[in-house]
């Protein structure tokens, strides 16, 4: 399968990745950058060293869902 793209689309994504990389460098505790509105890009910190970025595009047909308090904190 081949991917077809306009150069402007890739340039927009590259600029987004540059902004995400700057954000991750300035905020080491951040794991994501962007938003979850349909059609937008979302960057996730990725890789064993946390030095890579995975870019996802939010599907315009999918409604984002936040599952509240699903990760339980350990009690010390």
Query: What is the structure's pLDDT at 53?
Result: 96
Query: What is the structure's pLDDT at 14?
Result: 94
Q: Is residue 70 part of a domain?
A: no
What is the dihedral angle through the alpha carbons of 54, 27, 59, 37, rounded to the nearest 10 degrees?
-170
Residues 6+ apart with CB under 8 A from 45: 24, 30, 31, 32, 52, 53
Q: Is residue 16 part of a domain?
A: no
Instruction: Name the pTM for this structure.
Output: 0.79
Spell out the per-residue pLDDT of the chain, length 76, in tens: 888 888 988 999 999 999 999 999 999 999 999 999 889 999 999 999 999 999 999 988 888 888 888 888 776 6
Q: How many domains are there within the chain?
A: 1
- Give me the domain span that covers residue 45: 30-60
Q: Is residue 6 part of a domain?
A: no
Q: Is residue 69 part of a domain?
A: no
């Amino acid at each position: 399968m081949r991917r077809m793209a306009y150069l402007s689309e890739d340039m927009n994504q590259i600029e987004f990745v540059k902004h995400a990389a700057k954000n991750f460098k300035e905020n080491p505790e951040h794991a994501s950058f962007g938003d979850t509105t349909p059609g937008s890009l979302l960057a996730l910190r990725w890789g064993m060293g946390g030095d890579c970025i995975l870019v996802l595009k939010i599907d315009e047909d999918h409604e984002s869902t936040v599952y509240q308090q699903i990760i339980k904190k350990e009690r010390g």
